């Protein structure tokens, strides 16, 4: 099967079948060539229903989790999004088709450099990738309408809550280092409302306000 065929099957069998129904999210997933965001050695299984290694001890999330987190984030076309944990750039690329601008932070320079190459290969112009500790935020571009953390955290970094705009939404995998739940935080009039969704397992969030390992 061609990559185009595999991508369509991924959407039908892995994402739609599990309840992700947002047409905008599904269309964004169709537009991003996942095979470009994994190493050549595993490109042939880029559309498998599993996380895949991308180097430096990090992984690209399984397609369903990417779609699920994106749907929960409720991105609108005028939104400015902050992503913590760029990885290979795949999640940022998906978000680029839904948002006005995507700012993405990656602590590992080698991954940031490769992610930049990846998004540029797809002609994406509204993703800006920065090397740094995502747990301390990105104050020079705050506030953000949406924030997505793609690594497991023991708690929600306070600074990121401060950088969330009023009526903004944050998605974060919250819990222990081995097991988490997707938590959505909505900010309204300086109050924060939390909702818990799927269980999940992410690599740990490392930084000043992440896991101490």
User: Catalytic residue among 56, 61, 100, 178, which?
Assistant: 61
> How many Å apart are CA 121 and CA 172, to the nearest integer?
28
- Pick from 138, 15, 112: which is nearest to 58 by CA? 112
> How many Å apart are CA 123 and CA 5, to the nearest integer?
21
- Strand 80-84 and strand 101-106: the pairing is parallel
- Pick from 205, 181, 101: which is nearest to 143 by CA? 101
> How many Å apart are CA 188 and CA 177, to the nearest integer?
29
Q: Give 121's Cβ-side CA count (13 Å radius).
A: 15
- Pick from 114, 94, 106: which is nearest to 30 by CA? 94
- Number of Cβ within 10 Å of residue 23's Cβ equals 7
Q: Does the active-site annotation cover 61?
A: yes
**Among all residues, which ones are annotated catalytic?**
61
């Amino acid at each position: 099967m061609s990559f185009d065929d595999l991508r369509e099957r991924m959407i039908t069998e892995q994402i739609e079948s599990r309840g992700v129904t947002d047409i905008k999210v599904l269309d964004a997933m169709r537009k991003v060539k996942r095979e470009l965001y994994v190493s050549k050695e595993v490109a042939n299984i880029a559309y498998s229903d599993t996380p895949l290694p991308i180097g430096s001890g990090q992984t690209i999330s399984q397609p369903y989790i990417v779609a699920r987190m994106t749907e929960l984030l409720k991105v609108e076309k005028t939104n400015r999004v902050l992503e913590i944990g760029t990885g290979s750039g795949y999640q940022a690329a998906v978000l680029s088709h839904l948002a006005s601008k995507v700012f993405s932070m990656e602590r590992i320079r080698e991954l940031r450099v490769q992610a930049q190459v990846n998004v540029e290969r797809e002609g994406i112009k509204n993703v800006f990738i920065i090397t740094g500790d995502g747990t301390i935020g990105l104050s020079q571009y705050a506030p953000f309408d949406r924030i997505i953390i793609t690594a497991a955290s023991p708690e929600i970094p306070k600074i990121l809550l401060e950088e969330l705009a009023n009526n903004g939404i944050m998605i974060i995998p919250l819990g222990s280092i081995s097991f988490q739940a997707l938590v959505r935080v909505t900010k309204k009039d300086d109050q924060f409302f939390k909702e818990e969704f799927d269980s999940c397992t992410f690599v740990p969030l490392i930084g000043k306000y992440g896991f101490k390992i």
